[in-house]
A and B are shown apart, each in its own frame.
Chain A
């Protein structure tokens, strides 16, 4: 299997506009990652490190890998699932 080029991974991680070209790139990279654990781990590793770096600057970088349920989210979910306290 041919792996994703570093250039493609960089373009995928750095795009910040939703347009046809970027959606095609996302489609290609995402589909490849389903089949290829090596590339999936590589993208994940780079994304996580960038989030880590952003967290150092104190501006951004909350890890989206872990699910955090705070009161607001719980209330949204309770409303959706029809639960009432």
Chain B
């Protein structure tokens, strides 16, 4: 498909708005045509600038990811970003180019972070060479039964959900971030501050959604159906007789001593319970 003219684009944009907001069922055909016309050639030409992306034939994958991102984000991040229809064809074009640009930069950064030849490459015949990917930062964590058991046990503790969630999201952040000092020790304050900065404004149900989404990538964090049902049930229960617990902001649970100190306190409490469970042989 060649690049659309401006008139064609304006027509496609109008059609796209109609399609993605159609009450009887949204469609994304026009959105896909716009992406194919503008972003496909852009992504491919941009990939040529990065040797790693060029040799890995990354264009198709990046274009696919961008398309999914546009389908998922077109309403909340552009068309209804402010609650009412943002009918702005020129702004939309700038936005989709930004999404595509960021996807290429991210992919290049991902390649750079794990080395030039460590991802899927093609041989002389264009066939993929199967090299294990290190795309997932959690994959480098040793999967052992103790770790798995530990998380399983924490999920079943009868502590308040905000305390359990704190312990889990802190563990996720520890692995995501470089929070070690030169001596290799975890800088407690740094990671506790990250927990506060990242999650303070989120509600309990939003934090649980993030834990579930991260669990899909973390081999040692499995949430069983029974646990999931139990937690969802707890999130529905009224908190102090008012809103459901799931609608309460995380920061509302902080003690007077402040977010960081509160997080530290809660993590220590869970750690103590884990130590007891290990000593008792139940982990």
Contact = CB atoms under 8 A, between A and B. Distances in A.
Given A10-B209, A18-B71, A27-B26, A68 B80 contact: no
Contacts, number: 157
Nearest to A79: B3
B77 interface: yes
Interface of A: 6-7, 9-10, 12-18, 23, 26-27, 30-31, 33-34, 37, 40, 42-47, 49-50, 52-54, 56-70, 72-73, 76-77, 80-82
B256 to A, nearest CB: 26
Nearest to A53: B176
By DSSP majority rule, is chain B's interface helix, strand, loop, or mixed?
A: helix
Interface residues of B, number: 68
A33 B27 contact: no
Contacts of B177: 56-57
Interface of B: 3, 6, 9, 20-23, 25-28, 38, 42, 46, 64-65, 67-69, 71-77, 80-81, 83, 91, 93-95, 97-99, 101-102, 105-106, 109-110, 113, 135, 137, 172-173, 176-178, 194, 198-199, 201-203, 205-206, 208-210, 212-214, 216, 232, 235, 246
A15 B201 CA distance: 25
Contacts of A9: 209
A10 B69 contact: no
A81 B6 CA distance: 7
A76 B198 CA distance: 35
13 contacts: A10-B209, A31-B26, A45-B202, A47-B77, A49-B206, A56-B177, A57-B137, A57-B177, A59-B110, A59-B113, A76-B42, A80-B9, A82-B6
B1 to A, nearest CB: 15
